């Protein structure tokens, strides 16, 4: 009966020694790596029994649901972080914006005058102020006002990225009846949406013209006096340190010898005029720069007074009153398509004066009407001027006048 008791004791002792040995083997190792993570909002540190890895410790915070299974400490666990990339969204036809910034009128500024039925080309310079690229699927389209007989829509010639300028042109025709006309245009996207200027893209771009009668409508008949300038009989030929007039080969030649000395003129020896229409034909020489100019002096009571009306080589016109030393503009320089700009061009200048009413013409086209009463009569003459062109030359081929009733 004793033997079984001893056997049981031995079994119990061996079991205790075995359990003690297991606990000693599982003692926390010094310096072994660990993995920290969050599970159900609780931080747990697991110490692994495998040999230390050569890679540094990776510590990652992971939010799990309560159903996440526990990590079995039988192998090293390396958690890989999930990094959300910062998204860069490129504009697409679905999420980009269309907007125009108007830059300039390259041709036909507002209120440019045209004869009835005259054809012209309107060109706008526009900036792509949106985020969409304008492709050839975009078009320029007439939206309201007067179409001026223009074709619409007009497809864009090339792709225009955001921030890039483009010149867009439309051929138009002036109506047959005098008046002011406005033609409004916008761009149209491939989806059929019209857009334009202003902050909300609702503003149009436009062409605004004035249709006016020409000198042919004056029904003046033959001139009362005409000089083909075959001789200098009717003129005091100007000859100064800066400017010289001569008559040769059936034309008067006006030459600026030294520039930057203002306008200089020579008067005709003809009697004074009060109410009249005067017309002169000018031909520019081989050099004709932007601000070089030429024209007439009218109603000049003496050589230092009168109205000065002229054209520039850039295709502009101006009229001012000169009173010995005082310059008073009536119309400052203004561009018109009626004047042929540049060298070797022929332009016919006309001025109509009755009482205090002044009408200006270029190549038979009425440019504008003004009122001024400083000078009511006087002689007429021819002038030339240049800011910086040596030997700027203009030829005068003919001068004619018509006497008018007040």
What CATH number corresponds to the domain at position 108?
2.60.40.10
Q: What is the CA radius of gyration of the chain?
A: 45
Strand order in the sheet with 100-105: 100-105, 119-128, 165-173
User: Would residue 386 count as lying in a domain?
Assistant: yes
Residue 208 lies in a domain: yes
| HSE, side-chain direction, 13 A CA sphere, residue 304 | 4
Per the CB < 8 A criterion, the answer to whether 196 and 186 are in contact is yes
By CB atoms closer than 10 A (0-12, 13-18, 19+), residue 299 is buried
Q: Convert 154-196 into a string of H (helix), E (strand) and C (coil).
A: EECCCCECCCCEEEEEEEEECCCCCEEEEEEEEEECCCCCEEC
Question: What gap in Å lies between CA 48 and CA 72, rounded to an integer?
Answer: 10
- CA proximity to 237, closest of 212, 266, 270, 257: 266
Question: 330 and 230: one domain?
Answer: yes
383 and 315, same structural domain? yes
159 occurs within a structural domain: yes
Are 399 and 310 in a shared domain?
Answer: yes
Please say whether the dihedral angle defined by the alpha carbons of residues 49, 51, 57 and 62, taken in this order, is positive or negative. negative
206 and 233 both lie in a single domain:
no
> How far, in Å, CA of 337 to CA of 107, rounded?
8
Domain membership of residue 265 (yes or no) is yes
Number of neighbouring beta carbons within 10 Å of residue 149:
13
Instruction: Provide the 8-state DSSP code for 216.
Output: G
DSSP states of 7-31 as a string? Answer: HHHHHHHHHHHHHHHHHHHTSPPTT
Contact 309, 364 (CB under 8 A): no
CATH code, 332: 2.60.120.560
Cα within 13 Å of Cα(239), Cβ side: 5
Q: What percent of the chain has pLDDT over 90?
A: 65
Low-confidence ranges of the chain (pLDDT < 50): 1-83, 85-90
- How many CB atoms neighbour CB 193 within 10 A? 11
Q: Are residues 322 and 177 in the same domain?
A: no
188 plus 320 within the same structural domain = no
In terms of domains, do 275 and 205 share one? no
Task: Share the mean pLDDT of the chain.
Answer: 81
Domain boundary among 194, 212, 230: 212
Indicate the number of domains in the chain: 2
Domain boundary among 212, 241, 271: 212
d(CA 387, CA 291): 7
Dihedral (C-alpha) 119, 125, 131, 132: value to the nearest 10 degrees? Answer: 30
Note whether 132 and 273 are same-domain residues: no
Residue 150 included in any domain:
yes
Position 338 scores a pLDDT of 87
Last residue of a domain, one of 187, 212, 237: 212
Q: Residue 353: which of 272, 282, 281, 294 has the closest Cα?
A: 272
d(CA 333, CA 336): 10
On whether residue 129 sits in a domain, the answer given is yes
In a domain, 12, yes or no: no
- How many residues would you count in the chain? 406
CA distance linking residue 264 with residue 273, whole number of Å: 21
Distance CA 371, CA 355 (A): 9
pLDDT the model gives residue 89:
44
Claim to verify: residue 308 and residue 389 sit in the same structural domain = yes
Please tell me whether residues 206 and 222 are part of one structural domain: no
Q: Which two tokens stand for residue 334?
A: 């203004």
pLDDT number for residue 116: 82
Domain with 202 in it: 100-212
- The count of other CB atoms within 10 Å of the CB of residue 223 is 16
Q: Let me know whether 224 and 200 are in one domain.
A: no
Would residue 17 count as lying in a domain? no
| Residue 329, beta-bridge partner list | 320
pLDDT at 397: 96
**How much is the pLDDT for 25?**
37
163 with 307, same domain: the answer is: no
């Amino acid at each position: 009966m004793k033997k079984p008791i001893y056997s049981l004791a031995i079994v119990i002792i061996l079991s205790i020694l075995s359990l003690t040995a297991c606990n000693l083997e599982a003692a926390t190792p010094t310096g072994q790596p660990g993995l920290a993570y969050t599970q159900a909002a609780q931080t747990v540190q697991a110490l692994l029994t495998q040999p230390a890895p050569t890679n540094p410790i990776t510590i990652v915070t992971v939010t799990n649901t309560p159903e996440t299974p526990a990590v079995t400490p039988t192998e090293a666990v390396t958690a890989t972080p999930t990094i959300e990339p910062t998204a860069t969204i490129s504009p697409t036809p679905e999420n980009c914006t269309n907007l125009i910034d108007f830059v300039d009128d390259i041709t036909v500024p507002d209120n440019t005058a045209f004869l009835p039925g005259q054809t012209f080309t309107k060109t706008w310079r526009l900036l792509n102020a949106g985020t969409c690229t304008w492709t050839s699927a975009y078009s320029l389209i007439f939206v309201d006002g007067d179409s001026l007989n223009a074709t619409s829509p007009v497809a864009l010639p090339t792709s225009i990225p955001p921030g890039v300028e483009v010149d867009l042109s439309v051929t138009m025709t002036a109506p047959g009846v005098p008046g002011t006309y406005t033609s409004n245009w916008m761009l149209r996207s491939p989806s059929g949406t019209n857009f334009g200027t202003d902050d909300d893209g609702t503003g149009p771009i436009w062409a605004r013209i004035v249709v006016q009668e020409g000198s042919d409508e004056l029904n003046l008949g033959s001139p009362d006096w005409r000089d083909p300038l075959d001789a200098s009989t009717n003129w005091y030929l100007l000859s100064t340190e800066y400017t010289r007039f001569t008559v040769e080969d059936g034309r008067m030649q006006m030459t600026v010898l030294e520039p930057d000395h203002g306008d200089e003129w020579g008067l005709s020896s003809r009697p004074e005029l009060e109410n009249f229409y005067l017309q002169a034909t000018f031909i520019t020489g081989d050099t004709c720069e932007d601000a070089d100019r030429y024209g007439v002096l009218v109603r000049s009571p003496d050589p230092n007074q009168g109205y000065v009306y002229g054209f520039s080589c850039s295709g502009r016109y101006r009229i001012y009153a000169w009173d010995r030393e005082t310059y008073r503009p009536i119309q400052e320089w203004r561009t018109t398509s009626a004047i042929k700009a540049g060298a070797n061009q022929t332009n016919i200048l006309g001025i109509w004066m009755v009482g205090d009413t002044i009408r200006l013409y270029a190549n038979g086209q009425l440019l504008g009407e003004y009122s001024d009463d400083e000078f009511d009569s006087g002689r007429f003459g021819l002038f030339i001027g240049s800011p910086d062109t040596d030997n700027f030359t203009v030829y005068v081929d003919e001068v004619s006048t018509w006497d008018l009733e007040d």
